[in-house]
Structure 1
Amino acid sequence: MAFDRRLFNVVLLGLAFMLVFTAFQTMGNIQKTIIESIKNDNLKKNDTSFDGDGYVSLSIIYAVMSILNWAAPSVITVIGPNFAMLFGGITYVLFIMSFLIPRTWLLYFASVVIGAGAAVIWTGQGNYLTLNSTQATVSRNSGIFWAMLQLSMFIGNLFVYFKFKGLDSIDEDTRNVVIWTLSGIGIAGLVVMVLLPRPKKTSQIDIPEEVQQTPIEALKGAVKLFFTNDMLLLSITFLYTGLELGFFSGVYSSCIGFTKNFSNPKELVGLSGIFIGLGEVLGGAAFGILGSKTIKWGRDPIVIAGFIVHVISFFLIFLNLPNNSPFNDTNDGAIITSNAELAIFCSFLLGFGDSCFNTQIYSILGGVYSNNSASAFAIFKFTQSVAAAICFGYSTALNLYGQLGILLVLAICGTASFVIVEWKVKKEALAKSVHDNASSEGSEKAAF
């Protein structure tokens, strides 16, 4: 079998992101818990100087990311995807290390810095993935990348689970061990990013026109693309993925950790992250392995399946967790007796449903918008990060039931809008196929 350099590049890309996001996604999952433990330790010393909020920090990250995403295509045209991803990865490591010095101003400043890095790392990633794909391999490559990326949730939170096991509160020594370990893993990811081969500019779905654009042309192109009918429809799907990203990556595990009716709520925070990651990995691996088959069926059945899985998880969470669990430790009861196994099962459902949406978004952007992938992925991350920022913003005040209601409404709208675009893509592909066949037959008759 011939060596597939492009597949190797995609696997290397997945490894780099797996390491960097083992660090960051784990930190995001435990950030609220870590910050509250710092405050509790400080209170024992009569020190109230640190009053940072995990939800506010995450909201700042995604707000800055959303704004700067518009500049990301211009950055890609100047420095290329490799340097863009490396710069972004460095900001992730710096953000994690900022928790070694708990200062309110430093937390929020680091949140701004990582927001800038996130804008370029994800646009660069989408561009790099597209440059190493063809129409036939884009779904497979998206699934492989997504599965490897989401291994980060599994690996990082497995480590946190054992570090937090049996602890009622997270002491300073434990926090520092976790932060240094995650920082080291993130640095290893940066090393892999340095080794990423530069993608060739010629392929079946390469984008030479995009590479030749000036930064201003790239920005204008991104704005113009955003206001097309199909992209506006897809943006509703992007909004939903941003809201549910905020919910499962920063809110849900915190809700579990704050529910005192569980026997060991703090160690369940790490376990929740593990099962979110497990759902993500299984979904991504399945769609990667079956990529050649799912592209024939279309992307809509997978997105609809993700919608059904998420609705089930929202209903079970509604029954299982207290309404005020997003805010702080609570002894309040839920509609049913809170069950730890059910809570962790919902973590798995959230992760699996998220992989259904995101792998198919990567597939449709990499396939349909292959000639303008940097702008398409910038729009995706802009819209998604705006929604995530909104989610973390209202999470500081809105109870669990209200958040679940918003997610349900957006899930319905986002799924419907994606299906509409996918059906249009299928219809256009069918019409093109019929036209090509007719032209081929006409040419054969002319030859006779």
Structure 2
Amino acid sequence: MLVFTAFQTTSMVQKSVLDGAKSESNGTFNGDGYVSLGIIYTLLAFGNWIAPVIIMYIGAKWCMVAGAVTYLLFILQFLKPMEWALYLGSCILGFGAAIIWTGQGTFLTQNSNSDTMARNSGIFWALLQFSLLWGNVYSYTTLRGDFTITAEKRMHLFIGLGGACAVGLLCMFLLRTKASFTRDSEMEDLETVTPPSVKETFFKSFKLIRTRTMLLLLFPFIYTGLELTFFSGIYGTCIANNIHFGKDAKGLIGISGIIIGAGEILGGVVFGIFGKWTNRFGKDPFILMGFVVHMLAFYLIFLNIPFDAPYQESQRGTFIESSVILAMVCSFLLGLGDSIYNTQIYSIIGSVYPNDSAPAFAIFKFAQSLAAAICFVYSLKLTLEWQLLILVLTGTIASFSFFKVEWDIYRQNLFGSIH
């Protein structure tokens, strides 16, 4: 939680922070937050193909530890922004993020069974998203009150975030080490499975992605990447660039992040407590709920935020009077919808691929991260209304694809292979 307290806060303020550094540098610094995040998610996407092999060698716990080191290095380079350090740090973090995310998914599956997977997914997601609260409270108190982010404010912000990340790294050493390739089943006693070769582990990811079930799941994976980029990087920038919100607009990035986190946590807690409901009623009603929540958020953002706000400060008119309260409501809806989609994806991967969790989660993070990188690229050129249209279309396709997978599972009564 502490590692992602630092990084998720960083990703939300990165564009505005670097724009402030650029304005103070007199042309000596030209780093761009969207480009940096695009690099991170591109390398994260491709790094996920080799992450399962690394997990096989050193285990899920030590993959998470190694990944956390790269997060710390990336955050510390913001203390004195240099273009080469920004982009080199982005490259290193992209690979580190691949092993930490695939490691987390594997660690979760190794410590769950078919009865507890939905519950544990919800608890994991709620704990993860608490990071959005603490980091963004600190961000708000540090950045509010100025139209630009000064070097002094930047130093205060990233000293605190770097410290939180370092403490989180130390806490990871306390995680229990569980032998890889053990499977807990309600039908069998705990047993040790012979580990596959490196070659077998590496190519299993490519084999899985050609199966019908995984091909259908690719659409929800892609959608979560697009909406992740939107709420974690673009929407906060839109709020900060909305001059209608006055001098506190930069600080509102932090408030928005807190409220996004509240939505994420609510979704995680609800599905953690009522995880067994997904076994009884299926996952498709919850995906439908997430779809409705996100479509409402996109419509309200369309009405409330200037279309050119993703890439410049804007006083452009909106369809309704631009409202801070409405913007924060949209933040909550974005977080809640994201939590619903991700908890159900974690749950279905753990249920359908209990013995192939590492390659399955690698595919998930590959598709999600590549979509996130693409979103950062087109956000440099597309105005807000076109970005929202892309989210609406991909969200619709993703939801129907998830429904199809869930209906296939139901028809086979959770027995036999559906891959």
TM over 0.5: yes
Post-superposition Cα deviations, 1:190-234, rounded to whole Å, max 9, x if no partner, equal: 11111110124352287954x601221111111000110000100
Q: Is 2:221 the partner of 1:238?
A: yes
SS of equivalent to 1:323 = coil
1:367 and 2:346 correspond: no
* Residue type at the aligned position of 2:396: I
Scaled by the length of structure 2, the TM-score of the pair is: 0.96
Q: % of aligned pairs identical?
A: 48
In structure 2, what is the equivalent of residue 23 of structure 1? 6
Q: Note if contact 2:183-2:355 (Cα within 8 Å) is conserved in structure 1.
A: no
Q: Which residue of 2 aligns with 1:34?
A: 17
For residues 392 and 191 of structure 2, the distance between their equivalents in structure 1, rounded to whole angstroms, comes to: 37
> For residues 391-410 of structure 1, what are the structure 2 equivalents within 5 Å?
391-410=375-394
Counterpart of 1:412 (choices 392, 396, 403) is 396
User: In the aligned structure 2, how far is the partner of 1:142 from the partner of 1:199?
Assistant: 18
4+ runs deviating over 3 angstroms: 205-209
Q: Which residue of 2 aligns with 1:6?
A: none
**Residue 202 to residue 419, structure 1, CA distance change in 2 (3 Å):** closer
Say whether the 8 Å CA contact 1:207–1:371 is kept in structure 2. no
Q: Deviations over 1:2-50 (max 9, x none)?
A: xxxxxxxxxxxxxxxx1100000000000001001111222xxxx2111
Which of these residues, 309, 328, 343, is aligned with residue 325 of structure 1?
309
Relative to structure 1, the CA distance from residue 82 to residue 207 in structure 2 (aligned partners, 3 Å threshold; closer, same or farther) is farther
Return closer, same or farther for 1:349/1:406 CA change in 2, 3 Å cut-off: same
Matches within 5 A, 1:228-267: 228-263=211-246, 264-267=248-251
Q: Secondary structure at 1:261's aligned position in 2?
A: helix
Q: How does 1:266-277 map to 2 (within 5 A)?
A: 266-277=250-261
SS of corresponding position for 1:363: helix
**Is contact 2:39–2:90 with CA below 8 Å preserved after alignment?**
yes
- Hey, what's the Cα distance between the residues in 2 that align with 1:242 and 1:123? 15
Structure with higher Rg: it is: 1
Displacement after TM superposition at 1:166 (Å) = 1.6
Aligned partner of residue 224 in structure 1, secondary structure: helix
Of residues 25, 46, 50, the one that matches 2:29 is 50
Match of 1:435 in 2: none
User: Equivalent residue of 1:326, what SS?
Assistant: coil
1:25-424 paired onto structure 2 within 5 Å: 25-42=8-25, 47-200=26-179, 201-204=182-185, 208-209=192-193, 212-263=195-246, 264-424=248-408
Secondary structure (helix, strand or coil) at the match of 2:130 reads helix
**1:430/1:361 CA distance change after superposition, 3 Å:** closer
CA contact (8 A) 1:207 1:372 kept: no
Gaps spanning 5+ residues in structure 2: where? Answer: none
List runs of 5+ in structure 1 lacking aligned partners. 1-17, 433-448
- Residues 291 and 395, structure 2, Cα contact 8 Å, conserved in 1: yes
Query: Structure 1 residues 32-41 or 291-300, which shifts more?
Result: 291-300
